[in-house]
Amino acid sequence: MSIQWFPGHMNSARKQAEEQMEFIDLVVEVLDARLPEASCNPLVDRMRQFRQRPVLKVLNKIDLADPAATAAWKAYYDALPGVTAYPMTTKKPADVARLPALALALAPHRGVPTKPLRIMIMGIPNVGKSTLMNALLKKRVAKVGDEPAVTKVQQKLYLDKHTVLVDTPGLMWPKIEMPSDGLMLAASHAIGTNALIEEEVAFFLGDVLLERYPQLLSARYGFKTEGLDGIGVVEQVAARRGFRMRGGEFDVEKAAHVLLHDYRSGAIGRISLETPESRAARLEAHRVE
């Protein structure tokens, strides 16, 4: 299965971002720490490299991510030219408060009233851009919602005398190259799903959890993971929770929904869907295919 999703307004978002890139000093790219590469828009790097703008890659939602994976991602990104990674959560005011200084360090020639630091906040829908802006500005300025692809108008806002924020509407790539990226995004609720796809996504999540966090699965649902596959995980959730249809068979749809909800809310534990190593392996497998 392959999830592809490209609402029309994203074309205009892309154009707007391209034009804006000339007039900013730094990109703050918000990623989901649980799936940083799957939640990144390759266009952002292409656009900023063209204009030679540095980037602060915010690995947001670390409260939900596996700390070891987050540390590995930070090391990975920090080794790239022009890139600094900042793992944080918008839920912690102290994390938010540290961001402006980190941003200024990447463009130290700016940051005075005559030459304010101009930051463009970018990222795909649902990674937490509006929440971050609201927290930085200490007021509600942008729509925050979990429904993907809410169109937003561009805003330019003074953080203080020395810093201007420019945000772009939700920007996504035209084509998701690897099906697993679509599944990771759907699992993390960046892309909406219907019930049919939800089962597919839950099976995928089950596979990832089996591979990387079998103990968390057992602890949450009380089943043994040996010999299971992704479908088996969802069936076991159904069995443990007593989700059965009239005829007695497992209510897989309900169990899929519960598994996804538990992952998204952090109820299973702090989980990352990819690491730099697993990403490299997936890319290699995709290249060979």
Residues at the site binding ligand G4P, with contacts judged by CB under 6 A? 60-61, 63-64, 89-91, 123, 125-131, 144-146, 170
The dihedrals phi and psi of 267, each to the nearest 5 degrees, come to -65, -25
Q: How far is the CB of 121 from ligand G4P (least distance, A)?
A: 9
Nearest alpha carbon to residue 49 among 73, 78, 18: 18
User: Could you give the angle at the alpha carbon of 127 between the alpha carbons of 232 and 56, nearest 5°?
Assistant: 125
Whether residue 208 contacts residue 185, with contact meaning beta carbons closer than 8 Å, is answered with no
| Amino acid of residue 217 | L
- List 29's β-bridge partners, or say none: 57, 122
Pick the closer one to ligand G4P by CB: 31 or 228: 31
Q: Are strands 155-160 and 55-60 parallel, antiparallel or unpaired?
A: unpaired
Pick the closer one to ligand G4P by CB: 42 or 145: 145
Pick the closer one to ligand G4P by CB: 60 or 180: 60
The tokens of 79 are what? Answer: 């080794």
Pick the closer one to ligand G4P by CB: 60 or 225: 60
Pick the closer one to ligand G4P by CB: 53 or 152: 152
Q: How far is the CB of 79 from ligand G4P (least distance, A)?
A: 24
Q: How far is the CB of 249 from ligand G4P (least distance, A)?
A: 32
Cα–Cα dist 213/207, whole Å? 10
Pick the closer one to ligand G4P by CB: 198 or 207: 198
Integer Rg of the chain from CA: 20
Q: How far is the CB of 146 from ligand G4P (least distance, A)?
A: 3
Distant-in-sequence, close-in-space partners of 227: CB < 8 Å, separation ≥ 6:
none
Pick the closer one to ligand G4P by CB: 150 or 239: 150
Q: How far is the CB of 48 from ligand G4P (least distance, A)?
A: 18
Q: How far is the CB of 143 from ligand G4P (least distance, A)?
A: 7
Q: How many alpha carbons lie under 13 Å from residue 136 in its C-beta half-sphere?
A: 25
Cα–Cα dist 132/136, whole Å? 6
Q: How far is the CB of 150 from ligand G4P (least distance, A)?
A: 7
Pick the closer one to ligand G4P by CB: 41 or 126: 126
Q: How far is the CB of 96 from ligand G4P (least distance, A)?
A: 9
Alpha helices per DSSP H over the chain:
9-20, 42-50, 67-78, 93-106, 129-137, 179-187, 195-212, 214-221, 230-241, 252-265, 276-288
